[in-house]
Chain A
Amino acid sequence: MTDSKYFTTNKKAEIFELKAELNNEKKEKRKEAVKKVIAVITVGKDVSSVFPDIVNCMQTDNLKLKKLVYLYLMNYAKSQPDMAIIAVNSFVKDCEDPNLLIQALAVRTMGCIWVDKITEYLSEPLLKCLEDEHPYVRKTAAVCVAKLHDINAQMVEDQGFLDYLWGLIADSNPMVVANAVAALSEISESHPNSNLLNLNTQNINKLRTALNKGQIFMLDCLSNYNPKNDRKAQSICERVTPQLSHANSAVVLSVVKVLMKFLELLPKDSDYYNMLLKKLAPPLVTLMSGESEVQYASLRNINLIVQKRPEILKQEIKVFFVKYNDPIYVKLEKLDIRIHLASQANIAQVLAELKEYATEVNVDFVRKAVWATGRCAIKVEQSAEHCVSTLLDLIKTKVNYVVQEVIAVIRDIFRKYSNKYESIIATLCENLDSLDEPDARSAMIWILLESFLEGFHDENTQEQLTLLTLVQQMLTLATQDSDNPDLRERGYTYWALLSADPVTAKEVVLSEKPLISQETELIEPTALEELICHIGSLASVYHKPSNAFVEGSHGIHRKHLPIHHGSTDAGDSPVGTTTATNLEQPQVIPSQGDLLGSLLNLDLSLPINVPQVSSMQMGAVDLLGGGLDSLVGQSFIPSSVPATFAPSPTPAVVRSGLNDLFELSTGIGMAPGGYVAPKAVWLPAVKAKGLEISGTFTHRQGVGWILESSLTGVIPSTPLAIHTPLMPNQSIDVSLSLNTLGGCEKQYRCLLLQLPQPTQCAFVEGGKMEHQVFLATWKNIPNENELQFQIKECHLNADTVSSELQNNNVYTIAKRNVEGRDILYQSLKLTNGIWILAELRVQPGNPNYTLSRKCRAPEVSQYIYQVHNSILKN
């Protein structure tokens, strides 16, 4: 007999029937009824109305029935907290049931009820269960601590639950240990700033001894540890290496993570170091025999590993041969890795394969194969010629999308090897008619124009001017007829350049192109380091830092690889805390010289001497430094720019007309009337060799944070998108696609913006409290949380004040007039969900207001005061 019959009775009148059956005298009937209820839940219908009847069935000696009742409670308790309370007694009773399964079931379910009141009753039975003699109960209780922490963190910390968890790590049962570690790491991740997971030597030793019990979470925990010296690092590596033989791919990846991290600490060229590198390859190769999804996750990680340490897999390129029945996502990843591993030694084989792939049927895969062929030409210089001839062979196929892709990649080859393969232009031109994709067309235009420009110097002035006239005509078209703001902007910029100083403009146009290099395809090193620390996780699959896609990961310290400091004792420290070193200064962390070089590539980088700034780790970039800035500076410095926002006195720091122009297009869509802090220069040009970044924050409806930035001479081709709210002093990785003034192609790089951030933007819409709620909350918050401030010299009346504040999401709930004074009661909510209540006293004629604030978290009040102050003063 199957259970499917329970699904057949879902008719209209069922609720009444169910209620009746749930209250039936016969046990068997009740059990059947509960099954029906669960069946209804399973098909997604609402049966919350039978809650009381279900609770009646709780007292049963039938384990299956009890499980179902508990399942029901989990589903509906949150929506009916008052009803859930009725169930508490049964829970508490079951927590002490002589039957282990019931005992564990009760503990497990109680933690999933997510009702505050229930948790109050949970703590006592949970403490008992943590010390229960049976591992099954202990392992369930360990997880329950994490659940409890999710609901009521304070209680967990106050009642010493964490010490219990640390105690359980020494447990004799592997499952208990695994869950204890898992719970601890979960708790520490949700509270990154509290030093809950105290990774001192003693605790690390506990973890090490328990290593083969709780594998993954244990390994993840270990990877957060920063050993004092290479000896300690080596001893941990020795402990974890055997786990590479674990059958579970997730365990293997976690071991790889630990080893990749600690390799940084080991002295290079030591025997152990080299042996470890050798040991890493076979397990990585074996990951390729898993299921496609596991392969995919592994390949994404291997992609990171080959970028960081190509030597590990350099002999294993054959593993990444694409097979006919591989899913497309596996094929594309394998291709990517093949390029990373391509070298002079294996290039012939790689190219033969790529040529084979280029005749496949899947268009995306074919394109990627062609693209990869071009990449090989750039990466393996000695074999560029071979690659180019492969590409020419591919053009002969006359398959439209192949030809277009070939032309797009040949442009890059031209950029790398100028004056070397011009002879093939004729072949390219034969295919001019078939080009209908923007990318291929623009590549072709670039190739042709570039070949003209090669000889620009040799032309006479008349011809040069003809070219310039053409340019001007193009500019007219771009600025007047185009609907595309990006295009118009760039048009204006050129125009401005040309009208200001044609000679300089010529120099700009004729400057040396920085060479394209293979590195442009690599992940920026600091980002790569961070991703290496997240091997196995979603971040490593997305190739994005976790705060780019995880909400509320504010304040989570970025992880980075440890730095080798020999055998000197530097003291124990969790990796996380050492990371915040660059938080003070807003700055752009550049990746590599030539990356930034190509960021502002082509025409703009003038060979002008810029004072060397040694503190910044930048390669040979002199972009706009003395070039555009001074150029623009002379002709366009608008007098309207308040000097205060250019803190650096150097002439290079310029808020130019170009910037303002640029702001016009990006500054659309701000909440009208909202206070917007004036733009400040975050990165003065002098520090970044001429790249200046300034900006401000605004809060837009529904979106959260928008960064208004202007980069001199650099135009974001897409708006900067920061979708998650930022918190003060939080830094965020923003990947911004930037166009240079002169380039005709997109360049990607990662901007690491670390900014001190004003708080007012942290107020969210919908921060208006109900009248009653306000009163109750005000009373509820203890008086010692109340803070008073004076707002001085403010000449607005109460109504203006309230509307001004309303524009900034500070809501006035009520207004009272007491003895000639206006008292405004206000509420506001921060993006992280903290409510703040305020009382503002305004006395006509007195420019000094009194502001009283109450909040459960008094430490934020201080910020809020500053914000209030600045809103009212502006």
Chain B
Amino acid sequence: MSASAVFILDVKGKPLISRNYKGDVAMSKIEHFMPLLVQREEEGTLAPLLSHGQVHFLWIKHSNLYLVATTSKNANASLVYSFLYKTIEVFCEYFKELEEESIRDNFVIVYELLDELMDFGFPQTTDSKILQEYITQQSNKLETGKSRVPPTVTNAVSWRSEGIKYKKNEVFIDVIESVNLLVNANGSVLLSEIVGTIKLKVFLSGMPELRLGLNDRVLFELTGLSGSKNKSVELEDVKFHQCVRLSRFDNDRTISFIPPDGDFELMSYRLSTQVKPLIWIESVIEKFSHSRVEIMVKAKGQFKKQSVANGVEISVPVPSDADSPRFKTSVGSAKYVPERNVVIWSIKSFPGGKEYLMRAHFGLPSVEKEEVEGRPPIGVKFEIPYFTVSGIQVRYMKIIEKSGYQALPWVRYITQSGDYQLRTS
């Protein structure tokens, strides 16, 4: 059991559009939502779950909109949140952006989608590719007869239509690893983890059966490949797209599936093996009250010399009342972004093993601000192509279709920054 009704509210809490799914919570109850939210925010007790009497609001915020689900039952909270996020995803794919205007411009489709996404509080088809097969922007004239049927909705494989045809059968595999890092002010690493995703772009005809082989340690141990020269990776937690046969993976670590057509995320995994932070930052931020702030940042690429990190952006916090910035960098450029209270030091390409320096100088007003400011961390963004931190590799991708065509898999590796934070003192 889940939501009774779903609302999309503007930033002031006025309903833009809503759908009553169960009729057991009066639609007018939504009036209490915004005052409640404001009140809880003032009290400092804001949470994504609010209640007014017997009505419970589960809400998320998307740009300037609130998506709110109401219920009076002991609903499945995580299910509702996932549903709301899924709803946003679907709307975004339909309207590019989800905002007040796009809802108004497309209200008929929004109603149609709301009708298909959920029924009586149970989430239904939330895959926008499938929805697009039968909910379209143009008003569709109906042909009579059973022909006009959303094919996928009726398939046993609900994520793939039958009769797909491509001239050239190809699969593109992207292995993307994000590094999450948290370092405290004295330089010790508190948390370091790798979150990897494998994304596929599938251009295959018919109903192909795919099997993906990774250098998975557990698999190697099962098949006796370990101990040989093959390097393997221990995946800590693996999540799969619904197309993957989970019990098969549980049994013999085989990743087998019939893929949806086009783009999708096949799997994600997590490793908490600690690796050397790829880009290491040392910083000195000296604040001389009433006069100036002096910042010195040293960045070091701690990855292989052959690799290069692209689009490196290091954001360093500065006090909100700082002024008259001056910078000096050994490479790249620095700029002050006052609306975010940071200096951003950008380096287009940063080869492994190199070390660069940036100095910044700010003035401070002679009258000090009263409110205390937090100490935001230094953040780093980067992308290193042709490289995975974990060492994960795609060993093979087998593609079998009854028509027997030959298909080519293409693999690309990339490592990028995830939530990469270094606390400042």
Asked whether B239 lies within 8 Å of A247 as measured between CB atoms, the reply is yes
Q: What mask results when residues 108 to 150 of chain B are scored 1 for a CB within 8 Å of chain A, else 0? A: 1001100100011110110000000010000111101110111
Known contacts A216-B79, A293-B48, A64 near B238 by CB under 8 Å = no
Known contacts A99-B144, A360-B374, A243 near B246 by CB under 8 Å = yes
Expressed in whole angstroms, the Cα–Cα distance for A235 and B22 within the complex equals 36
Asked whether A550 lies within 8 Å of B44 as measured between CB atoms, the reply is no
Stretch at the interface among A283-291, A489-497, A645-653, A764-772: A283-291
In chain B, what residue has the closest Cβ to A71? B111
Does chain A have a CB within 8 A of B172?
A: no
Q: What mask results when residues 233 to 248 of chain B are scored 1 for a CB within 8 Å of chain A, else 0? A: 0001111111000110
Instruction: Point out the residue from A64, A186, A327 that lies within 8 Å of B108, measured CB to CB.
Output: A64
* Interchain nearest-CB distance for B285 vs A (Å): 15
In chain B, what residue has the closest Cβ to A134? B154
**CB within 8 Å of A: which B235-291 residues:** 236-242, 246-247, 249-250, 265, 268, 270, 272
Asked whether A212 lies within 8 Å of B246 as measured between CB atoms, the reply is yes
Instruction: Point out the residue from B146, B182, B185, B237 that lies within 8 Å of A286, measured CB to CB.
Output: B237
Expressed in whole angstroms, the Cα–Cα distance for A61 and B148 within the complex equals 13
Asked whether A63 lies within 8 Å of B142 as measured between CB atoms, the reply is yes
Q: Which of chain B's residues have a CB closer than 8 A to the CB of A361?
A: 372-374
Does chain B have a CB within 8 A of A194?
A: no
Q: Which of A64, A99, A146, A318 has the most CB of B within 10 A?
A: A64
Asked whether A172 lies within 8 Å of B156 as measured between CB atoms, the reply is yes
Asked whether B47 lies within 8 Å of A296 as measured between CB atoms, the reply is yes
* Interchain nearest-CB distance for B154 vs A (Å): 5
Expressed in whole angstroms, the Cα–Cα distance for A327 and B60 within the complex equals 12
Q: What mask results when residues 185 to 222 of chain A are scored 1 for a CB within 8 Å of chain B, else 0? A: 11001000000000000000000000010001100100
Stretch at the interface among A538-546, A795-803, A825-833, A840-848: A538-546
In chain B, what residue has the closest Cβ to A146? B120
Q: Which of chain B's residues have a CB closer than 8 A to the CB of A175?
A: 124-125, 153, 158
Asked whether A536 lies within 8 Å of B77 as measured between CB atoms, the reply is yes
Interface size on A, residues (CB 8 A): 109
Asked whether B56 lies within 8 Å of A549 as measured between CB atoms, the reply is yes
**CB within 8 Å of B: which A330-353 residues:** 352-353
Asked whether B49 lies within 8 Å of A538 as measured between CB atoms, the reply is yes
Does chain B have a CB within 8 A of A282?
A: yes
Does chain A have a CB within 8 A of B421?
A: yes
Q: Which of chain A's residues have a CB closer than 8 A to the CB of B49?
A: 296-297, 538, 541-542
Does chain A have a CB within 8 A of B403?
A: no
Expressed in whole angstroms, the Cα–Cα distance for A360 and B354 within the complex equals 34
Expressed in whole angstroms, the Cα–Cα distance for A254 and B82 within the complex equals 13
Asked whether B76 lies within 8 Å of A173 as measured between CB atoms, the reply is no
Expressed in whole angstroms, the Cα–Cα distance for A324 and B149 within the complex equals 50
Expressed in whole angstroms, the Cα–Cα distance for A700 and B139 within the complex equals 57
Asked whether A538 lies within 8 Å of B77 as measured between CB atoms, the reply is yes
Q: What mask results when residues 151 to 186 of chain B are scored 1 for a CB within 8 Å of chain A, else 0? A: 001111010000000000000000000000010110
Q: Which of chain A's residues have a CB closer than 8 A to the CB of B107?
A: 3, 6, 38-39, 42
**CB within 8 Å of A: which B63-117 residues:** 71-79, 81-82, 84-85, 101, 104-108, 111-112, 115
Asked whether A356 lies within 8 Å of B184 as measured between CB atoms, the reply is yes
In chain A, what residue has the closest Cβ to B144? A98
Does chain A have a CB within 8 A of B15?
A: yes
Does chain B have a CB within 8 A of A62?
A: yes
Asked whether B106 lies within 8 Å of A2 as measured between CB atoms, the reply is yes
* Interchain nearest-CB distance for B148 vs A (Å): 6
Q: Which of chain A's residues have a CB closer than 8 A to the CB of B154?
A: 100, 134-136, 173
* Interchain nearest-CB distance for A529 vs B (Å): 16
Expressed in whole angstroms, the Cα–Cα distance for A853 and B70 within the complex equals 40
Q: Which of chain B's residues have a CB closer than 8 A to the CB of A319?
A: 191
Q: Which of chain B's residues have a CB closer than 8 A to the CB of A140?
A: 119
Q: Which of chain B's residues have a CB closer than 8 A to the CB of A292?
A: 48
Known contacts A175-B153, A186-B1, A297 near B81 by CB under 8 Å = yes
Asked whether A247 lies within 8 Å of B120 as measured between CB atoms, the reply is no
Does chain B have a CB within 8 A of A487?
A: no
Expressed in whole angstroms, the Cα–Cα distance for A420 and B374 within the complex equals 36
Does chain B have a CB within 8 A of A101?
A: yes
Q: Which of A42, A140, A182 has the most CB of B within 10 A?
A: A42
Q: Which of chain A's residues have a CB closer than 8 A to the CB of B190?
A: 318, 321, 353
Query: Count of A-B contacts with CB under 8 A?
Result: 264
Instruction: Point out the residue from B48, B78, B141 that lies within 8 Å of A536, measured CB to CB.
Output: B78
Q: Which of chain B's residues have a CB closer than 8 A to the CB of A247?
A: 239-242, 265, 268
In chain A, what residue has the closest Cβ to B79? A250
Does chain B have a CB within 8 A of A22?
A: no
Does chain A have a CB within 8 A of B38?
A: no
Does chain A have a CB within 8 A of B415?
A: no
Q: Which of chain A's residues have a CB closer than 8 A to the CB of B146?
A: 98-100, 134
Does chain B have a CB within 8 A of A67?
A: yes
Asked whether B71 lies within 8 Å of A143 as measured between CB atoms, the reply is no
Asked whether B148 lies within 8 Å of A44 as measured between CB atoms, the reply is no
Asked whether B153 lies within 8 Å of A135 as measured between CB atoms, the reply is yes
Does chain B have a CB within 8 A of A35?
A: yes
Does chain A have a CB within 8 A of B46?
A: yes
* Interchain nearest-CB distance for B246 vs A (Å): 4
Asked whether B139 lies within 8 Å of A99 as measured between CB atoms, the reply is no
Asked whether B74 lies within 8 Å of A538 as measured between CB atoms, the reply is yes
Does chain B have a CB within 8 A of A7?
A: yes
Expressed in whole angstroms, the Cα–Cα distance for A112 and B4 within the complex equals 12
Q: Which of chain B's residues have a CB closer than 8 A to the CB of A536?
A: 76-79
Does chain A have a CB within 8 A of B417?
A: no
Asked whether B142 lies within 8 Å of A546 as measured between CB atoms, the reply is no
In chain A, what residue has the closest Cβ to B109? A3
Asked whether B158 lies within 8 Å of A174 as measured between CB atoms, the reply is yes
Q: What mask results when residues 291 to 310 of chain B are scored 1 for a CB within 8 Å of chain A, else 0? A: 00000000000000000000
Expressed in whole angstroms, the Cα–Cα distance for A181 and B240 within the complex equals 23
Q: What mask results when residues 239 to 282 of chain A are scored 1 for a CB within 8 Å of chain B, else 0? A: 00111011111100110000000000000000000000000001
Known contacts A4-B104, A247-B240, A363-B44, A294 near B78 by CB under 8 Å = yes
Asked whether A364 lies within 8 Å of B249 as measured between CB atoms, the reply is no
Expressed in whole angstroms, the Cα–Cα distance for A282 and B72 within the complex equals 33
Q: Which of chain A's residues have a CB closer than 8 A to the CB of B195?
A: 289
Asked whether B158 lies within 8 Å of A173 as measured between CB atoms, the reply is yes
Does chain A have a CB within 8 A of B351?
A: no
Does chain A have a CB within 8 A of B54?
A: yes
Asked whether A245 lies within 8 Å of B60 as measured between CB atoms, the reply is no
* Interchain nearest-CB distance for B377 vs A (Å): 5
Does chain B have a CB within 8 A of A328?
A: yes
Does chain B have a CB within 8 A of A537?
A: yes
Does chain B have a CB within 8 A of A323?
A: yes
Instruction: Point out the residue from B74, B149, B250, B270 that lies within 8 Å of A289, measured CB to CB.
Output: B270
Expressed in whole angstroms, the Cα–Cα distance for A172 and B144 within the complex equals 27
In chain A, what residue has the closest Cβ to B106? A3
Asked whether A100 lies within 8 Å of B149 as measured between CB atoms, the reply is yes
Instruction: Point out the residue from B71, B120, B144 that lies within 8 Å of A111, measured CB to CB.
Output: B120
**CB within 8 Å of A: which B360-401 residues:** 372-377
Q: What mask results when residues 702 to 745 of chain A are scored 1 for a CB within 8 Å of chain B, else 0? A: 00000000000000000000000000000000000000000000
Q: Which of B120, B145, B154, B155 has the most CB of A within 10 A?
A: B120
Instruction: Point out the residue from B108, B156, B376 that lies within 8 Å of A68, measured CB to CB.
Output: B108
Given contacts A140-B119, A283-B237, A329-B46, could you give 19 more A-B pairs where the C-beta distance is less than 8 Å? A3-B105, A63-B142, A64-B112, A71-B115, A74-B20, A111-B120, A136-B153, A143-B119, A150-B24, A173-B155, A174-B156, A183-B122, A185-B1, A242-B247, A245-B249, A250-B76, A296-B49, A318-B191, A361-B372
The 28 listed contacts between A and B (C-beta, < 8 Å) are A67-B115, A98-B145, A101-B150, A134-B149, A147-B120, A175-B124, A175-B158, A179-B124, A186-B1, A242-B246, A242-B249, A242-B250, A245-B250, A249-B78, A253-B78, A282-B236, A285-B272, A289-B270, A294-B85, A297-B77, A324-B377, A329-B48, A537-B77, A538-B49, A538-B73, A541-B49, A550-B72, A550-B73
Q: Which 10 residue pairs spanning A and B have beta carbons closest together?
A: A282-B237, A2-B105, A242-B250, A546-B74, A250-B79, A293-B48, A250-B78, A242-B246, A361-B374, A329-B47
